Amino acid sequence: MGMGYKTSWLAVPGVDSGAVADALGLVGRVAMDWEAGTKAAYTRGVFVASPVEGWTLAHGRIHLENGREGDGPAMLDWLGSLGRRLGELQYFSTDRIGEYHAWARVEAGRVVRAYCYDGCTGDVPMRYGEPTEIERRLGVGQRGLEEGRENWSEAEWDDWHAAMPDEQHVMAIARNWGILPLEIPDDALVDDGIHGLPPRRRMTPTCPPAR
């Protein structure tokens, strides 16, 4: 099983799995290989894989902070706190059931770009920084809920919905920014990674998880 769909993950360049686990504050750590760790993290906890192609990936469907509790400032604070420890990282989240899609980029310890669309609420709870080239090319990440929307025509609402991202946009952005977990070959993942739990559960989903 690979990570990517219906989950959240971090991609951290040039840092080992122990440092990422420390930054996330994971407890109850257990060594796991890629298959077992990824499967476990779809159920509970976070799996930090061993580095591959210069990147360390941390994956968690439920317990990796994904902005659904507080979004906006709370999410930016969390990303900034990780950035101060790790320096550079990327964050992605996608769930086609609720049409929840998010991505963010931290450089030199500072959040430079973050965007989130929550289809359950029909909102864009996070839009920070300028869209990157790949976002502009895909035509996503550029619109929020602008003022005057209460007077929008049906055609204007159709245009707005057409500019909202889906899971394939998230995958394309991840690929362009550096690494897409779904495309990592099985033979590239040799060493065990780390599975653990965050100090406390911090996420309350807006939509119920898919069964």
Lowest average pLDDT, out of 7-11, 113-117, 119-123, 137-141, goes to 119-123
Strands 27-32, 123-128: pairing is: unpaired
Average pLDDT, the chain: 86
- Tell me the mean pLDDT in the region 90-114: 92
SS3 content of the chain, % helix, strand, coil (to 5): 30, 25, 40
Which comes out higher in pLDDT, residue 8 or 96? 8
69 and 202 Cβ atoms separated by less than 8 Å: yes
Alpha-helical (H) ranges within the chain are 17-24, 34-41, 71-86, 133-138, 154-162, 167-177
Whole-number pLDDT of residue 111: 95
d(CA 122, CA 118): 6
Return the bridge partners of 116, or none.
102, 126
202 pLDDT above the threshold of 70: no
- Tell me the mean pLDDT in the region 59-87: 81
**C-alpha pair distances (Å), 53 with each of 48, 56, 88:** 15, 9, 16
- Confidence class of residue 195 from pLDDT cuts 50, 70 and 90? very high
Whole-number pLDDT of residue 73: 80
Whole-number pLDDT of residue 71: 60
Q: Which residues of 38-72 are buried (b: 16+ CB within 10 A; e: fewer)?
A: bebbbeebbbbbbbbeebbbbbbbbbbbbbbebbe
pLDDT in tens, 10-47: 999 999 999 999 999 999 999 999 999 999 999 999 99
Q: Number of C-alpha atoms within 13 angstroms, CB side, residue 18?
A: 1
Whole-number pLDDT of residue 208: 38
- Tell me the mean pLDDT in the region 102-115: 95
> Dmax over Cα atoms in the chain, in whole Å?
56
57 and 48 Cβ atoms separated by less than 8 Å: yes
Q: What percent of the chain lies above the pLDDT cut of 90?
A: 58
151 phi and psi, to 5 degrees? -105, 10
Whole-number pLDDT of residue 204: 41
d(CA 141, CA 143): 6
Whole-number pLDDT of residue 134: 97
56 pLDDT above the threshold of 60: yes
